[in-house]
Amino acid sequence: MKALILAGGVGKRLKPITDSTPKPLINIAGKPIAVHQIQWLRKHGITEFIFAIGYLKERFIETLGDGSKHGVHITYSIEEEPLGTGGALKNATDLLKDEETFYVVNGDIITDINPNRLLEAVDEKTTCVIALVPLPSPYGVVYTASDDRVVLFQEKPIIRDYWINAGLYLFKPEIFKHLPDRGDLETTLFQKLADERTLKAIRYYHYTIWKSIDTHKDIEEAEKLVEKYKIYIA
């Protein structure tokens, strides 16, 4: 099975780092995010990778090459102009159209989710499966009693009543007929499929090791996550 890594974005909120380094190549605990992702997916049997690249595309080719030094095979799908995540996936149609199923991963996440669990949700009616993780609060949460007393303070708890998109998807090739030429998966595809009742989402109650790198603070938090759980140790 193949995995497409969505790695074409600019990463504006991580400037000035991203002036010269694309976000998926930012180092987290001594390795680029992209290398962490290769090691994570390789651990689960995935050795064929496609990197959808655009911004600073030469840096990916210089850093990752053909993937042989990481024990995988890498090909590249190049965007000559920004296409969004949906357009980037469509741009890679020829590289994925013959697969029975394939993974798509946002190029800015650190996680230890077992991607093969998504396969358990696939049946003949399933077009795609989305991994969900519990909502991590960016703030401390204060619990109060009816007499105005503070009874509990939790610093940045995991809020398990709400679930968010983990940026890990399993698709069938029929998804290509739903994709826009330009636009994001989240805004142009998923709600459409949900309305048509062709979308299934699987929730990972036991896979909460996850972090999206969007800001400078996220880099520090992702490094703590990697070191705490000893993930991606090659």
DSSP 7: -
| Helix-, strand-, coil-residue percentages of the chain, each rounded to 5 | 35, 30, 35
Active site (annotated) includes residue 23: no
Q: Which one from 15, 97, 156, 224 is the annotated catalytic residue? A: 156
Q: In sequence order, which ranges of the chain are alpha helices (DSSP H)? A: 33-43, 57-64, 84-91, 93-96, 185-188, 190-195, 216-229
Q: Which residues contact residue 214 at a Cβ distance below 8 angstroms, ignoring those fewer than 6 apart?
A: 13, 14, 108
Token pair, residue 224, equals 């703590």
| Residues with active-site annotation | 156
